[in-house]
Structure 1
Amino acid sequence: MPQIFLQWFINEQVEEEASAGEIFEKLKNDPRKRAELCFTLTKSLVKENSPN
């Protein structure tokens, strides 16, 4: 059971790193979209962390 959890955790971290890398590339390659992406990310993070 611990190995299953560890594999799941590693897979989640790999996904998170890939997502962060994609966001970084978008910000780096298109400076005009920085404000829009930052706003979208902030809105998403607030929604995820809001108590419901």
Structure 2
Amino acid sequence: MYGNGYDPDTDQLYEKAEALVKEGWFRDEKDISSEAICRFLETHQSDLMKKFVRIDM
């Protein structure tokens, strides 16, 4: 991340998302975001739960 808040990697990710939509893999960018969040939560659920339990203690 740069001091001005601009991150060129964000542009590249968005361009990839646009391409996947244009190729018909997803309905829209929101669909890609939802899928990415679901996959992240599925693969990191145990780690996240442990972290939140520690925070609550």
TM-score, normalisation: structure 2: 0.41
Bigger-Rg structure (1/2): 2
Structure with the bigger percentage of helix: 1
